[in-house]
Amino acid sequence: MNTAKQRQYFGTDGIRGRVGQSPITPDFILKLAHCVGRVLKKTDPRPTVLIGKDTRISGYMLESALESGFNSAGVDVLLLGPLPTPGVAYLTRAQRANLGVVISASHNKFDDNGIKFFSDKGNKLSDEWELEVESLMNEPAQWVESAALGKTRRLNDAQGRYIEFCKSNFGGDLTLKGLKIVVDAAHGAAYQIAPNVFHELGAQVVSLGCSPNGLNINDGVGATHPQALVEAVKTHQADFGIALDGDADRLQMVDASGRLFDGDELLYLIASQRVACGESLRGVAGTLMTNMAIENAIKDLGLEFIRTQVGDRYVLEALHEKGWVLGGEGSGHLLVLDKHSTGDGMISALQVLESCLRAQKTPAQLLGGIELFPQVLLNVKLQNKGPWSPSPQLIRAQDQASQQLGKLGRVLIRPSGTEPLVRVMVEASDMKVAQETAQQLVQWVQ
Residue 3 confidence (pLDDT)? 44
**pTM of the complete model:** 0.89
- Give me the active site residues, please: 106
> How confident is the model over 67-86, as pLDDT tens digits?
999 999 999 999 999 999 99
d(CA 206, CA 234): 12
Question: Is the separation of the CB atoms in 198 and 93 below 8 Å?
Answer: no
Residue 215 confidence (pLDDT)? 98
b vs e for 393-404, b when ≥16 Cβ sit within 10 Å of the residue's Cβ? ebeebbeebeee
Banded pLDDT at 275 (limits 50, 70, 90): very high
Residue 124 or 216, more confident = 216
d(CA 355, CA 188): 27
Asked if the model's pLDDT at residue 386 lies above 70, the reply is no
Residue 418 confidence (pLDDT)? 67
Count of Cβ atoms closer than 10 Å to residue 7 Cβ: 15
Residue 294 confidence (pLDDT)? 94
Which residues, in sequence order, are CB contacts of 281 under 8 Å at separation 6+? Answer: 271, 274, 275, 303, 324, 325, 326
Work out the average pLDDT over 163-186: 98
Asked if the model's pLDDT at residue 4 lies above 70, the reply is no
Asked if the model's pLDDT at residue 334 lies above 60, the reply is yes
d(CA 276, CA 1): 41
Work out the average pLDDT over 25-47: 98
> How confident is the model over 322-331, as pLDDT tens digits?
999 999 999 9
Residue 385 confidence (pLDDT)? 64
The closest of 116, 69, 109 to 312, measured between CA atoms, is: 116
- How many CA atoms does the CB half-sphere of 336 hold within 13 Å? 27
Residue 16 confidence (pLDDT)? 95
Banded pLDDT at 171 (limits 50, 70, 90): very high
> How confident is the model over 128-144, as pLDDT tens digits?
999 999 999 999 999 99
Work out the average pLDDT over 297-321: 94
**In this structure, which amino acid lies at residue 179?**
L
Q: What is the 3-state secondary structure (H, E, C) of the chain?
A: CCHHHHCCCCECCEEEEECCCCCCCHHHHHHHHHHHHHHHCCCCCCCEEEEEECCCCCHHHHHHHHHHHHHHCCCEEEEEEECCHHHHHHHHHHCCCCEEEEECCCCCCCCEEEEEEECCCCCECCHHHHHHHHHHCCCCCCCCCHHHCCCEEECCCHHHHHHHHHHHCCCCCCCCCCCEEEEECCCCCCCCHHHHHHHHCCCEEEEECCCCCCCCCCCCCCCCCCHHHHHHHHHHCCCEEEEECCCCCCEEEEECCCCEECHHHHHHHHHHHHHHCCCCCCEEEEECCCCHHHHHHHHHCCCEEEEECCCHHHHHHHHHHHCCCEEECCCCCEEECCCCCCCCHHHHHHHHHHHHHHHCCCHHHHHCCCCCCCEEEEEEECCCCCCCCCCHHHHHHHHHHHHHHHHHEEEEEEECCCCCEEEEEEEECCHHHHHHHHHHHHHHHC
The closest of 3, 53, 55, 64 to 30, measured between CA atoms, is: 64
Work out the average pLDDT over 36-60: 98
d(CA 87, CA 52): 8
From the number of C-beta atoms within 10 Å of its C-beta (0-12, 13-18, 19+), residue 21 rates as: exposed
Work out the average pLDDT over 356-380: 93
Mean residue pLDDT across the chain? 94
> Which residues sit opposite 283 in a β-bridge?
304
Domains of the chain: residue spans and CATH: 3-155 (3.40.120.10), 178-257 (3.40.120.10), 262-367 (3.40.120.10), 375-445 (3.30.310.50)
Work out the average pLDDT over 373-391: 82
Q: How remote is the C-alpha of 311 from its chain's centroid?
A: 8
Work out the average pLDDT over 267-289: 95
Banded pLDDT at 2 (limits 50, 70, 90): very low
Asked if the model's pLDDT at residue 292 lies above 60, the reply is yes
Residue 427 or 237, more confident = 237
Residue 388 confidence (pLDDT)? 79
The closest of 267, 264, 242, 251 to 337, measured between CA atoms, is: 267
Residue 430 or 191, more confident = 191
d(CA 126, CA 123): 9
Question: Is the separation of the CB atoms in 86 and 115 below 8 Å?
Answer: no
- With a pLDDT cut of 90, the percent of the chain lying above it is 79
